[in-house]
Amino acid sequence: MPKVHADPITGLPVVREHYRTVSGNIENWTYKTITSRGLPEGRTVRSLIVDKHEFWMRDDESGELHFLPRTDSSGYGIGYGGGGPYTLCQMIEQLVESDGANSTPVRWRDKPNGALAAWARNDEISHQGEYTIKELRSMIR
C-alpha cells in the first residue's frame, strides 16, 4: 500500500511503495515525486551535480540539493551523442549566462557551445562530480 510523505525542503509530496513477492525473494522500494520548475524566488544555483544519470543543483543560500528541473519532453544525459547531452549543455549555458539565477527548464534552441558539447558527449571520461558556476563558465571557451 502506497504511503505519502512530504519532502522536508520543498513540502512537495513523495509517494513510497513497497513490493515483495509472495515467496519474499524479491523486494522493491520505489519513491515518486514531483519537482519545482526552478529554485525559489531570489535564490541562485551554487553548483551543478552530475551523478551518472541524475542531475542536481545546489542552492547558493542554504546549500540544499534540488533536482535539476527539466521539461516534460526533454531530459538530460551525458556521455553519448544525442538530445540529452545537448539539453544539459543548454541548461549549463543558461546557468552560466544568468550567474546561477535562472534555473528554469530550457527549451531546445541552437546547438550548444562546441567545447561544452564535446565534454558532454564524451563517453571516455567520468562526468561525475560537483561543478561550480565558475567551473562551468571555464568549460565554455
Q: Is residue 39 part of a domain?
A: no
Judgement on whether residues 59 and 89 belong to the same structural domain of the protein: yes
How many C-beta atoms surround the C-beta of residue 139 within 10 A? 17
What pLDDT score does 52 carry?
Answer: 76
CA distance 117 to 123: 12
Count of structural domains within the chain: 2
Judgement on whether residues 73 and 104 belong to the same structural domain of the protein: yes
* pLDDT one digit per residue (tens) for the chain, 141 residues: 788 888 777 788 889 898 888 887 888 888 888 777 888 888 999 999 998 788 999 999 889 888 888 877 778 899 988 888 999 999 999 999 999 999 998 877 778 888 999 999 998 888 889 999 999 999 987
DSSP the chain: --EEEE-TTT--EEEEEEEE-TTSS-EEEEEEE---SSPPTT--EEEEEEETTEEEEEETTT--EEE----SS-----SSSSHHHHHHHHHHHHHHHTTT---SPP---SPPPHHHHHHHH-SSS---EEEEHHHHHHH--
Q: Is residue 40 part of a domain?
A: no
Judgement on whether residues 14 and 81 belong to the same structural domain of the protein: no
Judgement on whether residues 63 and 127 belong to the same structural domain of the protein: yes
Taking the model in full, what pTM does it have? Answer: 0.80
Judgement on whether residues 120 and 91 belong to the same structural domain of the protein: yes
What pLDDT score does 48 carry?
Answer: 96
CA distance 97 to 137: 9
- What residues make up the domain containing 90? 45-139
Judgement on whether residues 97 and 119 belong to the same structural domain of the protein: yes
Judgement on whether residues 23 and 80 belong to the same structural domain of the protein: no
Q: Is residue 120 part of a domain?
A: yes
Q: Is residue 38 part of a domain?
A: no
What pLDDT score does 57 carry?
Answer: 94
What pLDDT score does 133 carry?
Answer: 96
Judgement on whether residues 86 and 19 belong to the same structural domain of the protein: no
